[in-house]
Amino acid sequence: MVAAAHPQPFCALSTPFSLLTLLLSSWFDLWTAAAGNSPVEWVAVLTGLACVWLAARNTVWNFPVAIVSCLIYVLVYHRVQLYSDRNLQLVFVLMSVYGWYQWLRGGPQHAELPISRTRPAEWLWLTAGVAAYTSGFGYYLQHYTDAAFPYVDSFTTGLSLAAQYQLVRKRLENWLVWLLADAIYVPMLWLKGLAPTSGLYFVYLILAAYGYWEWRRTMRSQTVSPLSTLAR
């Protein structure tokens, strides 16, 4: 007669395995619930976070990373009918290429571009540009597309364009404009179901504050020659 197999050893081995499986399953469910089952958006989130961190650290490598992130976000924003922000990403790609050159060769005698403040004339035309873009493109989106939040979307796009110009020119106040834009993006993206990107923009708020502090500290330590002052 063959004795019945003793079940305890198997149970002892399977219980930790079952607990591990349950734990991993729970984390996976949490991840996919937040990400909306969109790994593409998560890649965009991670590269976007990296490029802002690099910019806050005042390193030129923020631009190639930004190009990758923006190209991915073209697909993400198109899927949720945020057409103004989709188009913005294409503009950001071009501005990132220009900014890459500016940071490396935009200073006096084609040297590295120093950090500086936004001039009054720049504030004037940037403010006028944001207002014109918001009213004009917002009207178009509201009447001729199925865009969500047409005027809010256009306003954040206008702010982002202004901030990106300031970033490309290494104007200190770009971080203040990003703070305003990001504060609006967080709830707007959450309402559109882009939870990871909404969370990313919340982190951007923190990074923008850090970037302003870091750039201001760096600017104070710069030795600005009369030639560099005239070049700005």
**Residues in the chain, overall count:** 232
Q: Where are the domains of the chain?
A: 39-110+121-215
- For residues 100 and 63, is the Cβ–Cβ distance under 8 A? yes
- The pTM of this model reads 0.73
117-134: pLDDT as tens digits: 999 999 999 999 999 999
Q: Where on the phi/psi map is residue 190: left (φ > 0), alpha (ψ -120 to 50), or beta?
A: alpha
- Where do we find the tokens 């937040």? 34
- List, in sequence order, every residue forming a beta bridge with 171; answer none if it has no partner: 116
Listed range (8-12, 55-59, 158-162) with the worst mean pLDDT:
8-12
> What is d(CA 63, CA 227) in angstroms, rounded to the nearest whole number?
27
Highest mean pLDDT among 23-27, 105-109, 120-124, 156-160 belongs to: 120-124
Residue-level pLDDT at 170: 93
Supply the mean pLDDT for the chain: 81
pLDDT for the residue 48: 86
